[in-house]
Amino acid sequence: MSNQGNIELLSATLAKAKSEDRAALVAYLPAGFPTVDGAIEAAKAIIAGGADVVEIGLPHSDPVLDGAVIQTADDIALRGGVKIADVLRTVRETFEATGVPILVMTYWNPIDRYGVERFTAELAAAGGAGCILPDLPVQESALWREHAAEHGLATVFVVAPSSRDERLATITAAGSGFVYAASLMGVTGTRESVGNEAQELVRRTRTTTELPVCVGLGVSNAVQAKQVAGFADGVIVGSAFVKLLLDAPDEQAGLAAVGALAGELAEGVRRS
């Protein structure tokens, strides 16, 4: 009997948020930043503050989807020597301490090198709920999906405003857990149109799937969280947490800051 991951817990968590007439708060942090232990403590602080789901980033030297803030944190983690084993420990210890669904967000290359079967087995054994794979093309994902399903792990794919309807349907049919709708923030002053783009993307995505749709939109505060919670099943926040840790004078201040932001965002995603 192979170890089973926590896709059911992820689905139940998102369904519970829906039953409470709110969006789920999904937080992102890179593993190994500021240190491996520091990232685990930060994840626990964010969950204590009110996050429903946490994504642990596997730091990559070429994080094409991530902006400057996360690139800086990834760089610190990589210089600190973070390894896949540390990412898995981060998942395990955060899950054991909190019981909250933990996903890994990773580019494909590190998994490919580590071995798909090995990675899915070890992620499931660590209590992981699944993976977000932003750069794995759906048409090349069969091997991954087979092993992920065997181990009870969600495969979360990313859709974008540029995805055509036919492509959206292909992506959502292959995915599980939820759909990650990426609506990248433009320059300052265009947030209104980005919000509309994200809302339209969620609407289009929902015509193709029953899966919850969570939006990563450059959301950094409770006002934006409330806006996105008005049309999405989940609100994904990453850079705002990472920036607080980067700017903090010391680790305790950083933990207090991310916990407080999680609390504000958790209020924001409650639509009433």
Catalytic positions are 55, 66
CA 261 – CA 237 distance, rounded (Å): 10
Amino acid at 109: N
Contact 57, 76 (CB under 8 A): no
SS3 81: coil
Strand order in the sheet with 158-159: 154-156, 130-132, 102-105, 53-57, 24-30, 234-237, 213-216, 179-182, 158-159
- For tokens 């685990």, the residue is 40
CA 186 – CA 203 distance, rounded (Å): 20
User: Could you tell me where the beta strands, DSSP code E, fall in 199-256?
Assistant: 213-216, 234-237
Give how far Cα 23 sits from Cα of 33, 44, 251, 252, 269, Å.
27, 20, 29, 29, 5
CA 197 – CA 184 distance, rounded (Å): 10
CA 154 – CA 179 distance, rounded (Å): 10
